Structure 1
Amino acid sequence: MNKRRLFLQQLGLLSVGLGMAPTLLAQALNEQPSGELNSPEGKAAAAASITSVGLQLYTLREFIQKDVKGVIKKVAKADYQDVETYGYSVKNGYWGVKPKAFAELLKDNDLVSSSGHYDFEEYITKGDTEVIKQYIEAATTLGQTYLTVPFLAKRLRSKADDYRSLAEKLNKAAEICQSANLKLAYHNHDFELASYGKTTGLEILLKETSPALVDFEADLYWVARAGKKATDLFKEHPGRFTMWHVKDMDKNSPNLNTEIGSGSIDYKAIFKEARQAGLKHVFVEQENFAAFMDPFKSIAQSRDYVKKTLLRHT
């Protein structure tokens, strides 16, 4: 029996399948959608129990759109236990695979999906909540806990008031998610850390969204690209950064990624602050690969470093 199957059996997930209620899945993975464990103190305590490493499937975007089954099988072979989806549409599902079939594919490969990146632009610009309900349906089918806002178009972030408006909309969307026992999260890039007077877009979002409703997925590479320290964010906003995107910065070309542990970001220092951040889920992501590197060997190398080296610092 491989380690991934043992991991899931210990949680009792195989017997009930990935179609279980998100609340039950959340409890099994130390994920409480509400209550004391959603407080900063509870989130910090949960960091001590992290044992699995996830992969943001955008890392393999050039492959997964051509061969969904083959890529998922290779992700499992690289010893990942969790995947974060991207690119879902009501018409095409996940790269041409409908949610129910994709959930079965994950189950067959002993994988879970804790989070998904979903396009919220239509909601942000038009206030259409129907699209959120459609995302909730798909996420529930997969057993996901988080609906994550992945990106904010440039035209929607030209001034501080844009972020204040977004914060209000995130709170409303999060209430809809909460009613379905799901959680809303926001994923940053570097532009949220640009200054607007004495504040930044990310500071506005952190201060004007409800900690009980909205979590944040810290993309640690983009924080570093913005010239900021992730550890400072964790100290200033304890418990808010329950998910992390972990990708390293090439030492010679900061605009490029490299395998975790091979770049310039001091991840050992960052992982020491996992409890303060409230970390629950780690997702490896890499937006580019060196010409000589096999992407599937790359993700295995990064996974091993996170698992065997960095998680020991939490």
Structure 2
Amino acid sequence: MNRRYFIRQSGLLLAAANLSLPVFARTPKSLPLGVQLFSIRNYLNKDFDGTIAKVAEIGFKYVESAGYNRQQHTIHGQSPKVFREKLLANHIEPISAHANFSLAEADASLEDFATVGVKYLVCPSARGEYRKTAQGYYQLAEELNAIGKKAKEKGIQFGYHNHDFEFKQVENELPYDILLKNTNPEYVFFQPDLGWMIKAGYDPIDYFKKHAGRFPLWHLRDISESGAPVSAGSGKVDFKNIFASRKLAGYKLGIVETPTSQTEGISHIEKSIQFLGANKLY
């Protein structure tokens, strides 16, 4: 082999390597995990497009929205159609959404989220009028059933997300138990927020055992010893132990939710997905 031929062949090999490596480097490794956009809402308000691109770069495959405006029919400031298009353009699926609306408002709201193409729609919290009495929670269960039935007709699964107040006795009854026992599994699932549950002093696994299969969508929230929200893996939530019961729970997808911060929100969700990915908790 002469020197000129060797140099030319080496250059071709180097060029081929340089063509392939950058393509791989530019493609983030997407994990089957979602992120609750409430965690980074300050960023979205300033730069929606850039923030969504960053979420994709970090490696999230799914998002769960939280910025629904019923009157304007917008989600994080975008129309349902544009919201969907911008996410799909970044190879992110808008799989879930948090939205609080009444039964009377359900048809219009469900139409918005059918346009987005969500598979899960979650009531983020009990409205104040329901939280005063045990009877209020029984009434809420009825409304959840009715909305859930409407949602199912549109191909959407409807659920309820807990905080810690559902685990405080109201007239000698536990609100979370009222909701679980009085909603139809055909129409209503439950999104356990692991951090809020543990802050309230309850073990999510106990609920997975009592109500197997009703918890397909989880909020992967971690908390400090004092109960403050922190990045996943830096608090006291034993994710490994809880994930060992995911089949019993009916687990389908985990949604990261972290402290909302003007300056560190992106850092929190990045640390969380790194922890969950390193431990294969998804």
**Interval containing the TM-score (normalised by the shorter chain):** 0.7 to 0.9
Q: CA–CA distance in 2 between the matches of 1:261 and 1:58? A: 19
- Aligned partner of 2:15 in structure 1 is none
Q: Residue 102 of structure 1 is aligned with which of 83, 88, 102?
A: 83
- Aligned partner of 2:272 in structure 1 is 302
Q: What pairs up with 1:168-183 in 2 under 5 angstroms?
A: 168-183=142-157
- Aligned partner of 1:280 in structure 2 is 252
Check 1:2–1:142 CA distance in 2 against 1; reply closer, same or farther (3 A cut). Answer: farther
3-state secondary structure, aligned to 1:84? strand
Deviation at residue 132 of structure 1 after TM alignment: 1.4
Deviation at residue 62 of structure 1 after TM alignment: 1.4
Measured against aligned partners, the alpha-carbon deviations of 1:61-83 in whole angstroms (never above 9, x if no partner) come to 11212211111111111100000
Measured against aligned partners, the alpha-carbon deviations of 1:149-186 in whole angstroms (never above 9, x if no partner) come to 00123332111111111111111111111111111100
1:52–1:82 Cα contact (<8 Å) kept? yes
- Aligned partner of 1:260 in structure 2 is 232
Q: Does 1:205 align with 2:186?
A: no
Say which one has the larger Rg.
Answer: 2
Q: Once superposed, what is the RMSD of the aligned Cα atoms?
A: 2.3
Deviation at residue 259 of structure 1 after TM alignment: 1.2
Q: CA–CA distance in 2 between the matches of 1:64 and 1:92? A: 17
Deviation at residue 213 of structure 1 after TM alignment: 1.0
Deviation at residue 3 of structure 1 after TM alignment: 10
Q: What pairs up with 1:2-13 in 2 under 5 angstroms?
A: none
Deviation at residue 307 of structure 1 after TM alignment: 2.4
Q: Which has the higher contact order (CA 8 A, sep 6+)?
A: 1
Q: CA–CA distance in 2 between the matches of 1:96 and 1:288? A: 18
Check 1:83–1:4 CA distance in 2 against 1; reply closer, same or farther (3 A cut). Answer: farther
Deviation at residue 272 of structure 1 after TM alignment: 0.7
**Gapped runs of 5+ residues in structure 2?**
1-22
The letter of the residue matching 1:147 is L
Q: CA–CA distance in 2 between the matches of 1:303 and 1:61? A: 18
Identity of aligned residues (%): 33
Q: What pairs up with 1:1-314 in 2 under 5 angstroms?
A: 52-90=32-70, 91=72, 93-120=74-101, 123=102, 127-128=103-104, 131-196=105-170, 199-251=173-225, 253-254=226-227, 256-289=228-261, 294-311=264-281
Q: CA–CA distance in 2 between the matches of 1:2 and 1:170? A: 45
2:194–2:221 Cα contact (<8 Å) kept? yes
Given the two structures, how large is their TM-score scaled by the length of structure 2? Answer: 0.85
Check 1:133–1:166 CA distance in 2 against 1; reply closer, same or farther (3 A cut). Answer: same
1:56–1:83 Cα contact (<8 Å) kept? yes
**Gapped runs of 5+ residues in structure 1?**
9-50
The letter of the residue matching 1:277 is A
Deviation at residue 196 of structure 1 after TM alignment: 3.6
The letter of the residue matching 1:95 is H
The letter of the residue matching 2:80 is P
1:4–1:111 Cα contact (<8 Å) kept? no
